[in-house]
Amino acid sequence: MDTTSKRKKSSPPTIDIGQETRLELYRLQLELRYCEKRAYDLFLQNLIKGTSHLSLGQEAIAAAFGVAMRPDDWTFCTYRGHAHTLARGASMEGVLGELMGRQCGLLGGKGGSMHLTDVKRGVMGSYAIIGAHLPVAAGAAWSAQYRGTEQVAVCFFGDGTTNIGAFHEALNFSAVWKLPVVYVCENNLYMEYTPISAVTAVEHPAADRAAAYGLPSIVVDGNDADAVYKVASEALSKARAGGGPSLIEAMTYRHSGHSRADPAKYRPEGELDKWLLRDPLIIYRERLLKLGFSEPTLKDMEAVAMGRVDAATAIAKASSLPSLDDIEKNVWADGGSAWRN
């Protein structure tokens, strides 16, 4: 079946989303970029232990959905979840503190980079097991459908997840039950160190499989915050109206390796340079200038964003390490650690 003729493409960058929305999208992209860069710096200073998975280069996706979603919607993300957590309003000091294992962290320093969670802001966890959160997101959407709350579960995952059984099971049940869930494949071309194209029979691992579940094939420029915002708004509205799930494939690129231990030498020479020309922040800044926003206005926004990151860093550095007395707390739902049969 030729799916290309039915594939919905991203909208042109001239879509009218309003000045306030555009400024919010730029502000959020700035904060996500600066915070991720700071996380990298802290890692090099040995203040972040273990590994971390940065989303430098992919900020437009998290920012667009963060602006488009309602406060009571839910986010489910992968171990590359710093940006998605921040985009829902989680505090920078909470995120940086958690990465540094400090008491001010979102989880008191016990979760670390790959388990960021902020239930009060709808961030329902970051999942290190590939594909594990797709059925969980479907379950949350089922809960919203049953209770009639019009909440939507948004589930982010990488291109490699599309070859996992949970991807197909979650899509099938979500389509059958018309669940209010939006699945977003962040296709950055690589599943850890392997090109997704080398192990997948179709060009678009998510969108080209949508037809199998009766869903439209949606591909969007994941480096264009305006285009992602429009597609996100449409999918969220459809879900709230009872129209069922959407599957979106956002084409993007991570500027760094899979994790901090990965130098990414497997990438073809020149590939990164080409994608850096399509840096989402560069694209958006140039667009704002063309639309009449002034250079001083943008510089002020950039200075404010960096100031917020600096302040959050200072708070996180000053925060204490968790006490050993906390090791058995919050293990079970009742707050304790005793085994439950």
List all residues 6 or more positions away from 116 whose beta carbon is below 8 Å from its beta carbon: 77, 81, 82, 85, 90, 95, 98, 106, 107, 123, 125, 126
Looking at residue 118, the DSSP 8-state letter turns out to be B
pLDDT category of residue 15 using cuts at 50, 70 and 90 = low
- pLDDT above 70 as % of the chain: 95
Give the model confidence (pLDDT) of 259-318 as tens digits: 877 888 899 999 999 999 999 999 999 999 999 999 999 999 999 999 999 999 999 999
The rounded distance, in Å, linking the Cα atoms of 88 and 73 is 9
The rounded distance, in Å, linking the Cα atoms of 204 and 100 is 37
What pLDDT is attached to residue 338? Answer: 75
What pLDDT is attached to residue 14? Answer: 52
pLDDT at 3 over 50: no
Full-model pTM: 0.93
Give the model confidence (pLDDT) of 126-164 as tens digits: 999 999 999 999 999 999 999 999 999 999 999 999 999
The rounded distance, in Å, linking the Cα atoms of 281 and 223 is 8
What pLDDT is attached to residue 7? Answer: 55
Q: Which amino acid is at 299?
A: K
The residue extents of the domains of the chain are 8-256+268-317
| Closest to 103 measured CA to CA, from 335, 308, 334, 329 | 329
Query: CA of 203: how far to CAs of 99, 189, 211, 251, in Å?
Result: 35, 11, 14, 12
pLDDT category of residue 12 using cuts at 50, 70 and 90 = very low
pLDDT category of residue 100 using cuts at 50, 70 and 90 = very high
Q: 8-256+268-317: which CATH topology?
A: Rossmann fold (3.40.50)
pLDDT at 89 over 80: yes
DSSP secondary structure string for all residues of 8-65: EPPPPTT----HHHHHHHHHHHHHHHHHHHHHHHHHHTT-S-S-----TT-HHHHHHH
What pLDDT is attached to residue 2? Answer: 37
The rounded distance, in Å, linking the Cα atoms of 282 and 226 is 13
Q: Which residues pair with 76 in a beta bridge?
A: 155
